[in-house]
A and B are shown apart, each in its own frame.
Chain A
Amino acid sequence: EAGVAQSPRYKIIEKRQSVAFWCNPISGHATLYWYQQILGQGPKLLIQFQNNGVVDDSQLPKDRFSAERLKGVDSTLKIQPAKLEDSAVYLCASSFDPTSGAMEANVLTFGAGSRLTVL
């Protein structure tokens, strides 16, 4: 089974520039998550999709961050304009539909992450 694919793995930009990250979840996983992990901290949920609808984006800084999941498969997370404090690893994860009641729906599979450095 192929894992969660993310690209690019590394990105260095200057503040006020824009950047986009791409995620391809595991086939059949209806739920997709974007997390931000700042060095030394645990991951923080930015946005959660169920198919192509947003379930939770309460911690997404909407003035600069946007995300979309076209056709309920791939997803893109964009930052524009970037700030120094956006330097972090952006993790994408996917799972089966948590409302399905299936045990495996609780297990998230994470991608390797995209490391962003803002100078």
Chain B
Amino acid sequence: KQEVTQIPAALSVPEGENLVLNCSFTDSAIYNLQWFRQDPGKGLTSLLLIQSSQREQTSGRLNASLDKSSGRSTLYIAASQPGDSATYLCAVRGPSNTGKLIFGQGTTLQVKP
């Protein structure tokens, strides 16, 4: 049974700092991995999607990496801003494109001005 874990559960950093959020999963037979952002009282917004054959994806100040063999992914946020404050969730789909999307519990990020 696939389990997804995110560490830390909460993180507080000063504005401008670079930071890394971690995600680990127990079954390496995944189809893809996604990172989402969730603002309070709102739904989830997809940030980055990495296929199982890829090592990383970049979008603006965000970079997500995937090491399928070790069951790990990281989300790197460069030059953090107060507007980045939100909960970040990773989710894995597998083993095929019709597999369930299994979510971690999220990391709540606070960026202080």
Contacts and interface: CB of A to CB of B under 8 A. Distances in A.
Interface of A: 4, 33, 40-45, 48, 55-56, 91, 93, 98-99, 101, 105-113, 115
Nearest to A3: B43
A48 B89 CA distance: 20
A112 B39 CA distance: 10
Interface secondary structure of B, over-half rule: strand
Contacts of B32: 106
Interface string B75-98: 000000000000001010100011
24 contacts: A40-B105, A42-B4, A42-B104, A43-B44, A56-B100, A91-B44, A98-B97, A99-B98, A101-B97, A105-B97, A106-B32, A106-B34, A106-B93, A106-B97, A107-B34, A107-B46, A108-B44, A108-B101, A109-B46, A110-B45, A111-B43, A112-B42, A113-B41, A115-B41
Interface string B39-68: 001111110010000000000000000000
Interface of B: 4, 32, 34, 41-46, 49, 89, 91, 93, 97-98, 100-106
A55 B103 contact: no
A45 B98 contact: no
A115 B41 CA distance: 9
- Most chain-B CB neighbours within 10 Å: which of A108, A112, A115? A108
Ranked 5 nearest A-B pairs via Cβ? A42-B103, A110-B43, A110-B44, A98-B97, A42-B105
Given A99-B97, A112-B41, A113-B43, A44 B103 contact: yes
Given A43-B103, A108-B101, 15 more contacts: A41-B105, A42-B4, A45-B101, A48-B100, A56-B100, A93-B44, A98-B97, A98-B98, A106-B34, A107-B46, A109-B46, A111-B43, A112-B41, A112-B42, A113-B43
